[in-house]
């Protein structure tokens, strides 16, 4: 068996893949529901200063431990797992001090991960992808490199507020003391892989490309970007590697505590979107995936990197080799939820909304929160607020689908089939609206866990 672990914005999923390719048992730890003591009902701290969105990294560790406990409680013999792959929400960063590596190397199975790792954090919270508080730092890095076009040429994206580099720079400026005490910077993905391996994990090319720090052409840290980001950063970054090849055996902690085979291999973890690309079997060029999760994303494999002239879209590494293109919309599921609640509606109303007629002049700009694609401030604009609630829902969903479809232009993609995944993809109405707006059939993924499945598939394919 193989295990895929997806540490996403709102939950952590662990999914078994049998050697014959069939998905097996799964557990899902929802941060808000299952770990309420972290006070993160949607996976992040609710009351941060404007623009800042952080999560407690210890919450992810507790979720990991709970997921493995629950898999064991389902009667699963974890010693049969040959390899573990994984992924994390992209861009989020974890800051660790000099105790990190010694603690990892000597994890005590009688104590929890949370208890042992807490003293290793040089920053108690992690900025995540929803944080857009780093406009100043983006401008500073771009200026040092000679402009956004140059940053994009090197890293596949212009300096982007949620990306790890600008976030690191903001931390080094806001709290130079804590930055000085930081000896290791990890992504959510590489942090969790490090824990499972009991040693520092590399950052994979897929997730590494979401940092404004990796040079796409060389697959190495870009010395000029690193130097422009924060003092002494080069020494704090792990190496880069492919998520397709294991880098370690599982740490003795997990052997003693959960009965894993000491030979179980650990892969570098990748980003949730690159993992989802693999899970949706869209890792080879030809298909377009739309993932309707906390964020809505549109992505596809591509052999050669193509960048977005408007500066919103991105190029990441494809875990199967080559590159992938991605556009990320912040007003995804949380905006659908907020609009649903504004109307006093239910998901069942969204199921039906796709089938109501809509006047041609009903156009909705569905941005309840500050948006990243396109870059604009929050503002819901309905051209016809007088319409019925089902019509307003439909206009809202059409607005979301049109906004994503517009990204196909710079990507030069014309999908014949849309592969749909993510929590909202199970909604028939939402799926139907996306099919209508994209003008092509939709194939839904029966599991909404495409990222966890992709991670497990990478484990299966690895050596
Ligand atoms: P992430 O992986 O980013 O944590 P998921 O892909 O698990 O997110 O999606 C979670 C979202 O799915 C929830 O925020 C919720 O709004 C949405 N969702 C769940 N069920 C439905 C449904 N029946 N209809 C529409 N949206 C749904
Ligand atoms: C992608 C992005 C989000 C996160 C969380 O650039 O910011 O999709 O990966 O899912």
d(CA 268, CA 85): 7
- Joined together, the tokens standing for residue 286 give 């030809």
Q: Give kind and range of the element (H or E) at residue 2.
A: strand 2-7
**Residue 243: inside a domain, yes or no?**
yes
Mean pLDDT of 312-340: 95
Q: Is 351 exposed, middle or buried (0-12, 13-18, 19+ CB in 10 A)?
A: middle
Q: In angstroms, rounded to a whole number, what is the distance separating the alpha carbons of residues 228 and 148?
A: 13
Taking residues 11-33, report their average pLDDT: 96
In this structure, the answer to whether residues 368 and 260 fall within a common structural domain is no
Residue 328 lies in a domain: yes
279-289 pLDDT, tens digit each? 998 887 778 99
366, 335 contact by CB (below 8 A): yes
Do 224 and 365 belong to one domain?
Answer: no
Q: Is 91 in the pocket of ligand 2 (CB under 6 A)?
A: yes
Question: Is there a domain that residue 66 lies in?
Answer: yes
Residue 345 has pLDDT above 80, yes or no: yes
Distance (Å) of CA 35 to CA 31, 62, 118, 130, 236: 5, 8, 17, 20, 30
Q: How far apart are the first and last CA of the chain?
A: 14
Q: What is the pLDDT of residue 367?
A: 98
Q: Considering its fold, how many domains does the chain have in total?
A: 2
The sign one gets for the Cα dihedral 108, 114, 116, 121 is positive
Q: Express each pLDDT in 69-118 by its tens digit.
A: 999 999 999 999 999 999 999 999 999 999 999 999 999 999 999 999 99
Query: What pLDDT, on a 0 to 100 scale, did the predictor assign at position 46?
Result: 87
Distance 261 CA to ligand 2 centre (A): 33
d(CA 366, CA 386): 16
In a domain, 252, yes or no: yes
- Mean pLDDT, rounded, for 377-386: 97
Quote the ligand 1 centre to 272 CA distance (angstroms).
15
Ligand 2 geometric centre to CA of 295 (Å): 6
Nearest CA among 279, 294, 328 for reference residue 86: 279
Any ligand 1 atom below 6 A from CB of 337: yes
pLDDT more than 70, % of the chain:
99
In a domain, 199, yes or no: yes
For residue 9, give the ligand nearest its CA. 1
Distance CA 164, CA 93 (A): 6
Ligand 2 centre distance from Cα of residue 262 (Å): 33
At 152, which CATH number?
A: 3.30.420.40
Same domain, 156 and 63: yes
Do 152 and 198 fall within a single domain?
Answer: yes
For 196-205, how does the pLDDT look when each residue is reduced to its tens digit (9 = 90+)?
A: 999 999 999 9
Question: Final residue of a domain: which of 225, 243, 276?
Answer: 276
**Is the Cβ atom of 369 under 6 angstroms away from ligand 1?**
no
So what's the pLDDT on residue 283?
A: 80
- Binned at pLDDT 50, 70 and 90, residue 175 comes out as very high
Closest among 71, 52, 79 to 14, alpha carbons compared: 71
> Average per-residue pLDDT in the chain?
96
Task: State the average pLDDT over residues 316-334.
Answer: 95
Query: Same domain for 296 and 258?
Result: no
pLDDT at 348: 97
How many whole angstroms from 20 Cα to the centroid of ligand 2? Answer: 30
Residue where a domain terminates, one of 276, 297, 312: 276
Ligand 2 atom having least distance to the Cα of 326: 6
213: helix, strand or coil: coil
Which pLDDT value is given to residue 447?
Answer: 65
In a domain, 461, yes or no: no
Which one-letter DSSP state was computed for residue 48?
A: P
Q: Which domain holds residue 267?
A: 2-276
260 and 361: one domain? no
- Ligand 2 in reach of 10 Cβ (< 6 A): no
Could you tell me if 363 and 437 lie in one domain?
Answer: yes
Average pLDDT over residues 163-181: 98
């Amino acid at each position: 068996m193989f295990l895929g672990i997806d540490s996403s914005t709102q939950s952590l999923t662990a999914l078994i893949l049998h050697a014959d390719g069939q998905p097996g048992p799964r557990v899902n730890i929802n941060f808000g529901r299952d770990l309420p003591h972290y006070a993160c009902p949607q996976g992040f701290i609710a009351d941060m200063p404007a623009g800042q969105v952080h999560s407690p990294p210890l919450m992810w560790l507790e979720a990991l431990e709970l997921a493995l406990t629950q898999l064991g409680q389902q009667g699963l013999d974890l010693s049969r797992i040959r390899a573990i792959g994984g992924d994390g929400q992209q861009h989020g960063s974890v800051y660790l001090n000099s105790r990190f590596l010694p603690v990892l190397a000597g994890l005590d199975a009688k104590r929890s991960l949370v208890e042992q790792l807490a003293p290793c954090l040089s920053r108690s919270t992690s900025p995540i992808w929803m944080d857009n508080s780093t406009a100043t730092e983006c401008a500073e890095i771009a200026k040092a490199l000679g402009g956004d076009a140059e940053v994009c040429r090197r890293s596949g994206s212009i300096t982007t507020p949620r990306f790890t580099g600008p976030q690191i720079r903001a931390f080094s400026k806001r709290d130079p003391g804590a930055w000085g005490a930081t000896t290791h910077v990890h992504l959510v993905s590489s942090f969790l892989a490090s824990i499972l391996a009991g040693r520092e994990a590399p950052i994979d090319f897929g997730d590494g490309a979401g940092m404004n720090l990796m040079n796409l052409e060389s697959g190495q840290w870009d010395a000029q970007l690193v130097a422009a980001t924060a003092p002494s950063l080069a020494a704090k970054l792990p190496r880069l590697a492919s998520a397709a090849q294991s880098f370690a055996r599982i740490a003795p902690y997990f052997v003693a505590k959960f009965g894993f085979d000491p030979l179980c291999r650990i892969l570098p973890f990748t980003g949730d979107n690159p993992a989802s690309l693999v899970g949706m079997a869209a890792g080879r060029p030809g298909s377009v995936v739309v993932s309707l999760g906390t964020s809505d994303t549109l992505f596809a494999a591509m052999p050669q990197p193509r960048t977005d002239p408007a500066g919103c879209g991105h190029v990441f590494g494809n875990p199967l080799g080559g590159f992938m293109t991605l556009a990320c919309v912040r007003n995804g599921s949380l905006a659908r939820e907020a609009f649903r609640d504004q109307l006093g509606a239910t998901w069942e109303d969204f199921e039906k909304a796709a089938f109501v007629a809509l006047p041609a002049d009903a156009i909705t700009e569905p941005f309840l929160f500050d948006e990243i694609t396109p870059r604009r401030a929050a503002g819901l604009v309905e051209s016809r607020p007088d319409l019925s609630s089902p019509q307003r829902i439909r206009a809202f969903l059409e607005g979301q689908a049109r906004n994503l479809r517009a990204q196909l232009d710079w990507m030069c993609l014309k999908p014949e089939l849309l592969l749909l995944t993510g929590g909202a993809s199970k909604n028939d109405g939402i799926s139907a609206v996306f099919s209508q707006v994209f003008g092509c059939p939709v194939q839904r993924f029966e599991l909404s866990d495409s990222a966890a499945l992709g991670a497990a598939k990478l484990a299966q394919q690895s050596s």
